[in-house]
Amino acid sequence: MRRLFIAIALLVAISGLALWLLLRGHGEDPQTLLSMKKSQHTEALRVSAERGDEKAMVLLGDAYLNGDGVPKAPDRAMDWYKKAADKGDVQAAYDMAVLYERGLGVTQDYYAAAKWYRLAATFGKSVPAQFALGRLYFTGRGVENDFSKALKYYRMAAARGHAGAQYLLGAMYEEGWGLKVDLVQAYYWYTLAARHADQALAINPKYDPRSALKRIRVEMSKYQIGVGEKMLRDQAISAQ
């Protein structure tokens, strides 16, 4: 009987504690509490950003771009990215270029996009910026249409493992865009891209290195494939 009384008392105490915690949280559902937490985090970022912390400026820009803890406002995102970019932040320069290219928060401006991509790609060695700048040169948006410069920036990004750039290098060699058709080089770059095919496909569903490899293998001799495989082995050795 005594044990039963103790068990009931404990149950009542636990129920009371749960009720107290619920009331203490004002009965908010988890989603609301999460939203409140995000707002507090964003407010903390704002304080740091206003004190001149460029990393906080970039994160605050991200928050405005995505509506994370604040109302979605791409124009406010651009303001904070610009402040950080003016202080030399490479990520902010890249983010500004993306907004200019897409026309988010600002009037679409490929020339401005190219300018900020170039700063991030050249001085900051940003791999995504190198790829994006190569793409602008390939299409002639914001810059002159120049396959050789597209090749230059794609090579920069591809050398650092960008699967999208590796795929497009393969395509340039396969199709002879700005250079002589070379199926061995195409095989080499497509194979590197195929190792991270999901990344290439995430950029563009048409960037499918595995399908490209199947296509060109039909046109290649055993000797050409052997040369391509040797290039891949040499690359693996040099990367060690």
Q: What does the pLDDT look like over 152-179, one tens digit per residue?
A: 999 999 999 999 999 999 999 999 999 9
Looking at residue 237, its pLDDT comes to: 86
- The Cα diameter of the chain in Å comes to 93
The set of residues, in sequence order, having a beta carbon less than 8 Å from that of 58 and lying 6+ positions away, is: 80, 81, 84, 89, 91, 92, 95
Select the more confidently predicted residue: 222 or 12.
222
- Quote the DSSP letter at residue 58: H
CA distances from 61 to 46, 142, 184, 193 (A): 10, 24, 44, 32
Answer whether 0.85 is exceeded by the pTM: no
Average pLDDT, stretch 192-218? 97
Q: What is the per-residue pLDDT across 16-49, written as a single tens digit (0 to 9) for each? A: 434 333 334 444 555 544 454 556 677 777 888 8
Mean pLDDT of 41-59: 84
The whole-number pLDDT of residue 232 equals 96
Count H helices, E strands: the chain?
13, 0
Q: Does residue 9 carry a pLDDT above 50?
A: no
Proportion of the chain above pLDDT 70, given as a percent: 83
- Listed in sequence order, the DSSP H helices in 26-73 are 30-50, 54-66
pLDDT of residue 2: 43
In whole angstroms, give the CA distance from residue 46 to residue 67.
14
Of 83, 82, 41, 48, which Cα lies nearest the Cα of 63? 41
- CATH class entry, domain 38-158: mainly alpha
At position 67, the amino acid (one-letter code) is G
